Amino acid sequence: MVNIKINNTNVTVEEGTTILDAAKAKNIKIPTLCYYPDLDIKSDCRICTVEITGQKGLVTACSTPVRDGMEIKTNSPRVLNARKTITELMLANHDANCTACEKNMNCELQTLANTLGIDENRFESVLEMQELDTANTSITRNPNRCIKCGRCVDVCKNVQGINVLESMNRSHEMFISPKYGRYLSDEDCTFCGQCSSVCPVASITEKDDTDLVWNALDDDKKHVIVQVAPAVRVSLGEEMGQKPGSIVTTKMVAALKQLGFDRVFDTDFTADLTILEEGNELIHRITEGGKLPMITSCCPGWINLVEQQYPEIIDNLSSCKSPQQMFGALAKTYYAKKENIKPEDLFVVSIMPCTAKKYEAAREEMSADGKNRDVDAVLTTRELGKMVRQMGINFDQLEEIEFDDPFGITSGAGAIFGATGGVMEAALRTVSEVVNEKPLEKLEFESVRGLEGIKEAEVDLGGQKVKVAVAHSLSKAKQLADQVKAGTSPYAFIEVMTCPGGCIGGGGQPYNTTNAVREERIRATYQVDSDMKLRKSHENPVIQKLYEDYLTKPLSDLSHDLLHTHYHKRRT
Amino acid sequence: MEQKLVSKRFDAINPLSIDDYLESGGYETLKKALKRDRINIIEEIETARLRGRGGAAFPAHVKMMGIAKEEETTRYIICNADEGEPGNFKDRHLMEKDPHQFIEGMIITAYAIRATKGYIYIRGEYDKAHSIIEWTLEEARKKGFLGKNILESGFDFDIEIRSGAGSYVCGEEFALIESIEGKPGRTRVKPPFPTQKGLFDKPTLINNVETFANIPHILEMGGEAFAKIGTQSSTGTKLVSLSGNVNNPGVYEVPFGVPIKDVIEKLGGGSKDGRKIKMVQLGGACGPIIPEYMLDLTIDFDRFEDFDSKTGAGAIIVMDERFDVFDVLLRVAEFFEHESCGKCTPCREGNLQLVKLVEKFINRRATQKDLINIESLARVMHHTSLCGLGQTAPTAILSTLKYFRDDYLDLIEHPEL
């Protein structure tokens, strides 16, 4: 332990603690910008600069460990002037048209400028307006707002292992973009959107599709239905000012009704359906000597990675569509027919924690009739939050409404799809009961839960010990993919989710997602599951009825037509 | 006035001949050093109080001892020969005129800290030095001074040459390390320092050419004798790169403590055509600009530090009365604006704003407010930039604000307001 003084207050902290953490422990807030919990310390922005008695220069609190006897001033006039100057320098090279920015009132740079009391910029604007990257369906990059903090580069390179975003060039001509200023769509971007999630300003955001949805809702000829992904109910609350881990399922349904959706359905339903299809596919592959390990295919960022960088393992992917696309296909066929709506008059919206889902919905294969999209628009959790605010809905005062029939009856197995390990656990609940022909004694597969990067478990399937693995974040997924590619994978079944923590940590989730927040959302996810009466997908009566009435049985011809797809190599 | 130590063989031997070097006593110190206790060598350097000659003047033995105490056994040693600071050319002379000397120093240092591999990072533009060093390393290898089991001592060590593409910032230790690793030349966060996690994340000792060149002399004459040369705070000699409006520009070796005036007058032969000296920039583009009346200042690390600047590289750029302070300031500002790596905000954005502000003065559009702003910005950059480049980029401005303030006021539109 070392003894230090922060603003004349004695503080005792562990050796090696940074000044930033030491101050935090004493409730002293030092502003930061390039710093982001769980990411590397970059110390590039220099905003968290503090003064140390006896030292000429200022030091950055994020990167400087405390020394015994250190006397730190976090708010001296010299420090405040430095922070102000640095912020003005950033603003002089930033498109600071705040009222025309989606992060107005929610922007870290704006908050900083406000807190520091910057009322004029002493420096002249040196901003040279650049073209926006709007060339893809998922993510918009606005270089004019970039403050070069490097968070996106860090998350793309070190968390995801993708290396699409880079710091190019030098001096004030330094810019962050894909190589040589190319478009994201020119590179192996998986559209995971983690960059948008950590961007302190609105330089990287999801492509805004709210207008598309507002227009559909306003169109009398359209029957507009919406599906909501499992992870949204445990995170939308944060958009509405509630604390992380709040479960807002019923208020969310009520809000969607107020927005004007004709029916509000649950993607958990098609998550259950995915389990029946994928579980049976796994049993089939194990018993018939098919390609193993089988790897989940629910996650579009992961699919993009495989198609771009691991084409050799495409056959290892489950042929199942994701729950979003199973829902879309069923909506445009089964539901349209049942409700007697022409498919072209049906508009399907999905609310996803994800930016890659926008890409997935736009894929050519995702069309039941070969012409029109199965899912017409995908909104992120953040975009839904925006629409709720635009509508002026008082979220906390909403009544509690349940999902509509028929795609609103779901199981806890579908609900846990939102957390890393959830698809694996849901599949194991069903597969082991089907294969072992007896009910599970314990439904919880604890070993596949939690934020550990790669998790393993061994399960007994009909007397056979089978190894499974779960990875989240693409850098970890790549480790498992490399094994599969090399033929050394010891697993029969692998679950991959692109984002850290799974979909609850998705690129379209509310800002300020940190591991602490992820933990809360995960806890809430398992709470949703344990609160449910139905907890196994194969016991969902509506799923059973869907097979009886329509699909006949898992992996049937119709199932293959509607619920399965093919993946293919894209660029190398 | 000159005291030749590291420059004693300059023009006296054929730099391409290892035999010439051997005849003049070369590699004798290495032979003895290889039989000495390693820590004892470092202690000798501590006694000599040798400070780094690249600009930062850090005590050489502290870095060496730091590495010697690391647990990691893969250790690197780098010679920083990326002499990119405008006005400095003494490392070029060391490499071109007596290349074995600093390499001998490197090998001795490598032995003392048990380094497993060495690199010489030569400035991209130094083609001649590059080929000479390539030749020199090969000659040293042939004679068994480099490679496996050097002189039967059981110590293995070899050196590779690396070069950048001419970026100034690659002279900064971490940018240089990144460049050797094949990455863009941008600095890293400290701590950890290179001695803890340097090249390829291994403990790394990185010294200037002149620092290594001093090592054989220290061991030869003993640390105590070395410490008697120069001043209390700055022991030994300093190679000075003298340039600008003087009659005899060139590299001179003087003991620390010599007044700058004497270097200009006695060694440089005074200013050309007897013109009055207006100002002298010390250290290079990153150094302070001082007026003629301050030239009694002695060459001494600590005297320079009083000045709030690090001018240890030893450049003296003399400018006579024909030159305007703002001509120099604009060049310096544009230089740094171009050479900033772009990583940290104060340096990336600040240098561009300094150019804009200097231009405002030159175009007589500056106001009193701009005078306050340029001073404030320069100070913030000096205090908050991530590496030495951004910290020293505003030195020329800060020093002229102090010593040539009237030149600023003359250009302000309504200075009375």
Distance, CA of A192 to CA of A163 (rounded, Å) = 13
Q: Is the pLDDT score of B327 beyond 80? A: yes
Contact between residue A142 and residue A196 where contact means Cβ atoms under 8 Å apart: no
| Chain A positions in Cβ-Cβ contact with residue B376 (cut-off 8 Å) | 81, 85, 122
User: Does residue A360 have an active-site annotation?
Assistant: yes
CB spacing of A46 vs B376 below 8 angstroms: no
Share of residues in chain A with pLDDT > 90 (%)? 97
* Class of the domain covering B18-228: alpha beta
Closest CA relative to residue B160, chosen from B217, B119, B193, B123: B119
Structural domain count of chain A = 2
Compute CA distances B19 → A90, B27, B102, whole Å.
58, 11, 16
User: Does residue A298 have an active-site annotation?
Assistant: yes
Contact between residue A507 and residue A300 where contact means Cβ atoms under 8 Å apart: no
Confidence tier at B310 by pLDDT (50, 70, 90): low
Does A89 lie at the interface with B, CB-CB under 8 angstroms? yes
| A337-346 per-position pLDDT tens digit | 999 999 999 9
User: Does residue A15 have an active-site annotation?
Assistant: no
Where do the H-state alpha helices sit in B80-151? 90-97, 99-113, 127-142
| CA distance to partner chain A, nearest, from residue B189 (Å) | 6
Compute CA distances A191 → A70, A104, A183, A545, B111, whole Å.
45, 24, 12, 36, 51
Q: List B205's β-bridge partners, or say none.
A: B77
Closest CA relative to residue B210, chosen from B81, B44, B62: B81
How deeply is A465 buried, as exposed, middle or buried, from its count of CB atoms within 10 A (0-12, 13-18, 19+)? exposed
Domain range list for chain B? 18-228, 237-320, 325-411
The whole-angstrom distance between residue B312's C-alpha and the CA centroid of its chain comes to 6
Catalytic residue among A206, A278, A425, A520: A278
Backbone angles phi, psi at B78, to 5 degrees: -125, 135
Domain CATH for A39: 3.10.20.740
Q: Is the pLDDT score of B312 beyond 70? A: no
Give the domain-ending residue among A15, A48, A75.
A75
Domain identity same for A526 and A382: yes
Domain CATH for A327: 3.40.50.1780
Question: Rounded to the nearest 10 degrees, how much is the dihedral formed by the CA atoms of A282, A286, A292, A295?
Answer: 10
Sign of the torsion angle spanned by Cα atoms A396, A398, A402, A407 = negative
Q: Which fold has domain B325-411?
A: de novo design (two linked rop proteins) (1.20.1440)
What per-residue confidence (pLDDT) applies to B302?
Answer: 82
Return mean pLDDT, chain B: 95
**CATH of region B237-320:** 3.10.20.600
Instruction: Please count the CA atoms within 13 angstroms of the CA of A336 that sit on its side-chain side.
Output: 21
A262 part of a folded domain: yes
| Chain A positions in Cβ-Cβ contact with residue B351 (cut-off 8 Å) | 171-172
A501 part of a folded domain: yes
| A491-504 per-position pLDDT tens digit | 999 999 999 999 99
Non-local (6+) Cβ contacts of B173 within 8 A are B80, B187, B194, B198, B206
| A470-491 per-position pLDDT tens digit | 999 999 999 999 999 999 999 9
A195 part of a folded domain: no
Confidence tier at B166 by pLDDT (50, 70, 90): confident
* Amino acid sitting at position A437: E
Token reading at A354: 């994800």
Confidence tier at A463 by pLDDT (50, 70, 90): confident
What per-residue confidence (pLDDT) applies to B414?
Answer: 66
Contact between residue A210 and residue A386 where contact means Cβ atoms under 8 Å apart: yes
Domain membership of residue A40 as a residue range = 2-75
Chain B, 296 to 355: residues with Cβ < 8 Å from chain A are: 308, 337-346, 348-353
Contact between residue A30 and residue A48 where contact means Cβ atoms under 8 Å apart: yes
